[in-house]
Amino acid sequence: MSEQVLKGGNVMERSRTRTLTQIAMLGAVAGVLMNFEFPIPFLAPSFYQLDFSEIPVLIGSFAMGPLAGVVIELVKILVHLVTKGTMTAGVGDVANFILGCAFVVPAGLIYRFHHIKSRKHAVEGMVVGTVLTSIAACLLNAFVLLPAYGKAFGMPIEAFIEMGTAVNPSVNSLLGFVAMIIVPFNLFKYTLTSMIVFFIYKRIRVILKGD
């Protein structure tokens, strides 16, 4: 009996070690991907950058659960800070963490906690995550990020609105900026991320063996 308990303990320990290793690996990959960002000039001003760092985080959330996704998101931010630093006194990095969690946590919850996991549940999770993240991005940008950036760089809110107008002439207020710049940008970003994960997840899961 004691031998069986010992074997069971060893299996659990190996499983825990494997999970921690996968979390660290996915977080490191996500942190590196976060360093490669580029603007989408037809959607938003150049200070809004697109990157693919949420792909490894979402994969981890699907494979190991939403809590693992949160830890991977944290590792991603720490790797990014170490390798590239911050230009926003950490405000942008905290916002990135919050938005990343708003995306991967509901997606992971909806996918993982179905008895039979399917692509349908994955799509449902990613749709919910995308919508919630877009809403969270609107609130964060309007009440925290844009005022913080303006204070840090000595720019009034009107300057950001003018940048938005250059992209979309219909933008003439903060509300218009949120509705016509932030919403389309985040819908595009997280929909693109979701599509990529949709097509590659099954192959990656074979390696991770999270299910």
Residue 204 to residue 126: CA distance in whole angstroms: 17
Q: Please give the DSSP secondary-structure letter assigned to residue 73.
A: H
Reported as a single tens digit per residue, the pLDDT across 163-194 is 999 999 999 999 999 999 999 999 999 999 99
Query: What confidence tier does 61 reach under pLDDT thresholds 50, 70, 90?
Result: very high
Bridge-based pairing of strands 49-50 and 38-39 is: antiparallel
Reported as a single tens digit per residue, the pLDDT across 121-172 is 999 999 999 999 999 999 999 988 888 888 877 889 999 999 999 999 999 9
- Fill in the amino acid letter for 65: G
Residue 99 to residue 122: CA distance in whole angstroms: 19
Burial class (CB in 10 A: 0-12, 13-18, 19+), 206: exposed
Q: Copy the structure tokens of residue 20.
A: 């921690």
Reported as a single tens digit per residue, the pLDDT across 25-60 is 999 999 999 999 999 999 999 989 999 999 999 999
Residue 25 to residue 167: CA distance in whole angstroms: 38
Residue 26 to residue 53: CA distance in whole angstroms: 10
Residue 18 to residue 152: CA distance in whole angstroms: 42
